[in-house]
Structure 1
Amino acid sequence: MSQTNRRVTLKDISNACGYSVNTVSRALRNDNRLSQETIAKIQQIADDLGYMRNIMASSLRSGHTNLIAVIIEDIQNPHYSEMISQISIKLRAYDYHLFILCSQFEEDYVENALSLALSYNVSGIFLFPKIDSTRDVDIINQNHIPLVLIDRETEKNSNDVVRCDDYQGGYLAGQRLASEGHRRFLFLAGPQTNQSQILRYNGFLQAISDAGIDTNQVRMLSHTLVADAIYYGNLESVLFPVDYTAIVSFNDTRTYSVMNFLLKNGYRVPEDISIISFDYLRQMQPYLLPLTSISAPPDKNMADTAVELLLRRMTNPEAPAESVILPVMIYDEGTTGTVPTLDAKKTVIS
């Protein structure tokens, strides 16, 4: 039989060390009923042969794996990649390992990712859902896999979830800018399938309405429109004319592209244009430019909460679903200020 691509097996280790396959298996699991000398000898031979544990074979015997799947659209956003890194570190303390499935906004990928996660017999799933992810959630629940929704919910949610208070975040942004005298706004939206976008926008509109400002003074640019303008290098097509004094942006990654463009083209922040955003990436990446941003307080960690919820669900599948909504605050880094006395009239600097 061809040896090409054949993995080292417990039988190979058994043949090399003279112990039975059962003893080898116990030694590799550090079974304390074996002597430390026997365990050390077998593990050394396994290392010399290049043995790697077959997780799938182990899961067939035990009925579960130590794999946890995370299914997400956009891992390029540092807000999410940092959160996933924290989740992975915390899970390793409980001998679980993270299995990342990223769709990069591919429409049908989540269902394919679920199929892959199910085939690996994962012990639990973290899902960053869209509003219309109800079918995906139903599939997970029907297969009795512990599930935690992160950062947002579905329309009819009955699962554990941890997210920030996005409505309050939007309200804080509107309240801050209204108090500084701003009356004309540009809102850079996130995806409309993202619950956070809807809540932040509605909270913002409520805040300026409460301040007696006409909500028709908000010009909203769609997620796709701004993303395309950034990708093709023609932000001037969506940002000009500057008929606003303040920008509210869905997240920091988008905001930095816009702010850098405005600075390059002679606009001062906040003297000419105030900017406020969400996620506060500088908390994790202090080398970024200062940016006033809204996020959870330092002692409210979404990654820790998500892991705690999943471990609880795996231990007690019948426990009532828990919804944890983290408070938010403004991290003031000086990019908002009082409205200019005279509107800045600027053109693109070539």
Structure 2
Amino acid sequence: MAQEKITSFEVAKLAGVSQSAVSRFFTPGSSVSRKTADKVREAADTLGYRPNVLARSLITGRSRIIGLVVAYLENHFYPEALEKLSNALQAKGYHVLVFMASQTAGNIDSVLREILDYQVDGIILASVALSSELGGQCKAAGVPVVLFNRHQNDPTLTSVCSDNVAGGREVGRLLARAGHRRIAHIAGWEGASTQREREAGFLEGLRECGAELYAREVGNFAPESAREAARRMFDTGDRPDAVFVANDHMAFFVMDVLRFELGLSIPDDVSVVGFDDVPLAAWPVYALTTVRQRANAMVAETVSAMLAQIENPGTEPTQVSIEAPLILRSSARKPQARTD
């Protein structure tokens, strides 16, 4: 025989408080006195009471659930960033529902339609874009959307991203000023705004120093594609003497090909620079010079933007760019100090 569900009225009676006090105690963001909280907690534990979150959402119109969509977790940057996002949202009383999607627009649209069925309070898209049709549906449903680590040419969308252009520019300047003459680039997925912005900044930095791009391949942010790109680019007699790889995840595989397959020395034969500064980049086995994505700052801006739109639906969308500093390690030659 199924046990009858304990109600908040029973908790209130045992605790000697009002039912509204019990409701406030279990409502994130509400306040009750410490004395009342202790009474309610003890009574709830004694009776085995748990609030019905779904029932409350029907009354309040808020599910306190944020849908989080990510296209892939192979890139070491995303597991850490998504953990920080989840923890930050939970600290604000929200639960996170994670959905995986591929890079194809059709798949992403399908996933977003499914998310809307869950009556989420907001959607964060990490490493994926949003079609204009789905953007309109989210807006019509009153569900705010924030893009994390992506920009999109849509002024109605809020986005939070590193300053990829400035980061790429610093890489171009570094390699040119270090005396490299055959500077190459292994690009990521060309449909990503991060890739386009990083490469645009990189080329700008080269031009500022009177240099130009020597060779280019596409690694699609994928390990095997990055390996193949490195083999095509460096297994020749006129190989590059420096390469900017569009993210750290690919750069590790590129470095492995250069050292262990082609017998090249880093940085004596070739300098390698990445982008993200994931924890593995600092390991001595790679000691990767890279551009740091400041995950804590990006997460803080994303959560702030999301909550602002949930609590004040008329909030204007913003496009936030977070400073991305260049981190110098030993995988790339450094410019020589001027003596004049």
* CA gap 1:283/1:323 in 2 versus in 1, 3 angstroms: farther
Label 1:38 to 1:213 Cα distance change in 2 as closer, same or farther (>3 A).
Answer: closer
Aligned to 1:343: none
Tell me the TM-score normalized by structure 1. 0.79
Offset at 1:248?
A: 0.7
* Pairing 1:138-287 to 2, within 5 Å after superposition: 138-215=136-213, 217-223=214-220, 227-229=223-225, 236-237=231-232, 239-241=234-236, 243-265=239-261, 266-282=263-279
Q: What residue in structure 1 maps to residue 5 of structure 2?
A: 12
The match for 2:122 is 124
RMSD across aligned positions (CA): 3.5
Q: SS where residue 289 of structure 1 aligns?
A: coil
Contact (CA 8 Å) 1:13, 1:45: kept in 2 or not?
no
Structure 2 segments unaligned to the other structure (5+ residues): 27-31, 336-340
Is the contact between residue 162 and residue 306 of structure 1 (CA under 8 Å) also seen in structure 2?
yes
Cα distance 1:306–1:271, how it changes in 2: closer, same or farther (>3 A)? same
1:243 maps to a residue whose letter is R
- Equivalent pair of 1:129/1:154 in contact (CA under 8 Å): no
Supply the AA of the counterpart residue of 1:218. Answer: A
Which stretch has the larger CA shift, 102-111 or 92-101? 102-111
Moved more, 28-37 or 62-71: 28-37
Report the residue type matching 1:13 in the other structure.
I
Task: Summarize the Cα distance change of 1:267–1:98 in structure 2 as closer, same or farther, 3 Å threshold.
Answer: same
Task: Establish whether residue 295 from structure 1 lines up as the match of residue 296 from structure 2.
Answer: no
Match of 1:307 in 2: 303
TM-aligned CA deviation for residue 238 of structure 1: 5.5
Q: Shift of residue 198 of structure 1?
A: 0.7
Aligned residue in 2 for 1:133: 131
Secondary structure of 1:100's match?
Answer: strand
Partner AA of 1:87 in structure 2 = L
Cα 1:53/1:261, change in 2 over 3 Å = farther
Contact 1:132 1:155 in 2 (8 A): no
- C-alpha separation in 1, matches of 2:82 and 2:209: 38
**Structure-2 separation of matches of 1:285 and 1:52:** 45
Aligned equivalents of 1:137 and 1:214: distance in 2?
39
Mark the CA change 1:67 to 1:112 in structure 2 (over 3 Å): closer, same or farther: same
Moved more, 174-183 or 29-38: 29-38
TM-score, normalised to structure 2's length?
Answer: 0.81
Deviation at 1:36, TM superposition (A): 7.1
Contact 1:134 1:154 in 2 (8 A): no
> How big is the shift at 1:61?
2.0
Deviation at 1:67, TM superposition (A): 0.8
Q: Tell me which residue corresponds to 1:346.
A: none
Q: Check conservation: 1:174, 1:207, Cα contact below 8 A.
A: yes
- The secondary structure found in structure 2 opposite 1:236 is helix
Number of residue pairs matched?
324
Q: Deviations over 1:262-313 (max 9, x none)?
A: 2223211111110011000138975773100002468x71011111111112
- Most deviating of 28-37 and 97-106: 28-37
Q: Following the alignment from structure 1 to structure 2, what is the Cα–Cα distance between the partners of residues 278 and 155?
A: 23
Q: Answer yes or no: is the 8 Å Cα contact 1:27–1:42 preserved in 2.
A: no
Matched AA of 2:235: F
Task: Using the TM superposition, give the Cα deviation of residue 141 of structure 1 relative to its aligned residue in structure 2, in angstroms.
Answer: 1.7
- When residues 315 and 284 of structure 1 are mapped into structure 2, their CA distance, relative to the original with a 3 A threshold, is farther
1:158 Cα deviation (Å)?
1.9
Counterpart-to-counterpart distance in 2, 1:218 and 1:114: 38
Contact 1:70 1:127 in 2 (8 A): yes
Correspondence for 2:338: none
Over 3 Å counting, the alpha-carbon distance change for 1:80 and 1:58 in structure 2 is same
1:61 aligns with one of 36, 59, 62: 59
Q: CA deviation at 1:176?
A: 0.5
Q: Distance in 2 between matches of 1:105 and 1:63?
A: 32
How far is the alpha carbon of 1:75 from its aligned partner? Answer: 2.4
Structure 1 CA distance for aligned equivalents of residues 55 and 282 of structure 2: 41
> Is the contact between residue 290 and residue 334 of structure 1 (CA under 8 Å) also seen in structure 2?
yes
In structure 2, what residue type is equivalent to 1:191? W
Call closer, same or farther: CA 1:12–1:288 in 2, change over 3 Å.
farther
Whether the 8 Å CA contact 1:27–1:39 is kept in 2: the answer is yes
Instruction: Give the residue type in structure 2 aligned to 1:279.
Output: D
Could you list the runs of 5+ residues in structure 1 that have no partner in the other structure?
340-350
Q: C-alpha deviations, 1:42-99, integer Å up to 9, x for none?
A: 523553xxx6554333211221111111112112322111111111111122111211
Partner SS for 1:271 = coil
